[in-house]
Structure 1
């Protein structure tokens, strides 16, 4: 099944690369997730359930277009906890419960501009052959100490024909929603389809999902892995309800 088409972002505020990405997703009752969303967003379900993802990865070459990357500032690990939503504009996208980043300036900028729930955290992405270890521990703001330690073995690439609607539901997301000064805004991101690979979860300990206000996952996660994509991030815009 073909992936949904990425939007065009002709004028980008940032360009970046998302590398060594792992997608872990758990099924939750829709009403459990809905109670954590803003009133103007509705949980987007698949197979009758909401899905919550834990996604650790490496950010590289983070910079405004046409400007050079700053080596220390432009490369750092990041991890997000997210779910999938319908917006009042009729579009679908994602909503972040938390984002952990290894660079304090990036945390401060994202919290100030888009009110995204970023946390400054001590993070690491360690690659050993086909096995990747992701580690993280939250610094500030609280809850102090929330974190994770997981290892994933990256496997063979999926052929396009092998990918299902469920695979795309969990990974092909090109819009984020956030509340800024009481108003809903959206940001579009453009990138090629994810080159998805099979993955095997070797080990997992985490409490960042619970720190978002959710119960601990009750089953093993659905897992996807990817070497990554190049990304263009658009300017935020106000979301207007569909009439």
Structure 2
């Protein structure tokens, strides 16, 4: 995938201890949920839906220091992969769950579908460059109509060896340099810059994400997940630009 051109960063973020879980879907099922103007980006004949829990670390505007506690927190994304008519490939988010209300307020104004959730995660052993195990848990906090249970997820993975040469599908699912949003009926794209993901093989021990995926309007995944783990990268984000 083509990287975003040089841009002026407005935010610096660490994305750490991230697990990529992916499932193949029929392209027309995913296409029906996209904003007008975007088309589903396929690989191996399928659309791909991902659930990616991780830890945001030292999130801050450029030029300002991180604020203890407020700047580091768990996040869970539900996403797919899209192309714009201009040829740009990127990510379309169905949801982004986090416990930090300031993040939700700031980024919902940019069109990103952030949701308020109780979330926690842990890695074993803690404080090491690469974890051997990682566990994630989240549950949205706002009540649902009719009193039904709010969407959440639970994931536990065992981390394996590093992939020296990730296969083309792993690159397709992780090497993304744009995120798309929709505001006031218009498409916007956000540039993202970071090093290539250091990817590890991983094995899912627990995967309970059906409610989260159904909340996006998709059927819950039935097959086993394709799983990768990364200790993380440091990222720079730019201002949204109209597509």
Q: Report what 1:104 is aligned to.
A: 101
CA contact (8 A) 1:107 1:119 kept: yes
In the TM superposition, 1:45-56 aligns within 5 A as 45-56=42-53
In the TM superposition, structure 1's runs of 4+ consecutive aligned residues that sit over 6 Å from their partners are none
* Equivalent residue, structure 1, for 2:64: 67
Match of 1:133 among 132, 135, 160: 135
After TM superposition, give the deviation of residue 90 of structure 1 in Å.
1.4
**8 Å Cα contact 1:9-1:189 kept in structure 2:** no
Compute the TM-score of the two structures, normalised by the length of structure 1: 0.92
Aligned position for 2:129: none
Q: Displacement, 1:10?
A: 3.7
1:26 aligns with 2:23: yes
The alignment yields a C-alpha RMSD, in angstroms, of: 1.3
Report whether the alignment pairs 1:17 with 2:14.
Answer: yes
**2:227 corresponds to which residue?**
223
Match of residue 181 from structure 2: 178
Residues 135-187 of structure 1: CA deviation (Å, up to 9, x unaligned): 00011375762001110111111113xx1111101111110111111111000
**Structure 1 pair 145–9 and aligned structure 2 pair: CA distance change class (3 A):** farther
Judge conservation of contact 2:143–2:150 (CA < 8 Å) in 1.
no
1:123 aligns with 2:123: no
Contact 2:7 2:191 (8 Å CA) reproduced: no
TM-score, length basis structure 2:
0.92
Question: Which range moved further: 187-196 or 137-146?
Answer: 137-146
Residues 141 and 234 of structure 1, relative CA distance in 2, 3 Å threshold: farther
Partners of 1:9 and 1:67 in 2: CA distance: 21
- 1:36-47 → structure 2 map (5 Å cutoff): 36-47=33-44
Determine if the alignment matches structure 1 residue 148 to structure 2 residue 150: no
Q: Name which of structure 1's ranges 30-39 and 139-148 shifts more when overlaid on structure 2.
A: 139-148
Q: Which of the numbers 132, 139, 162 marks the counterpart of 1:157? A: 162
The answer to whether the 8 A contact 2:192-2:235 is kept is yes
Tell me the residue number matched to 1:90.
87
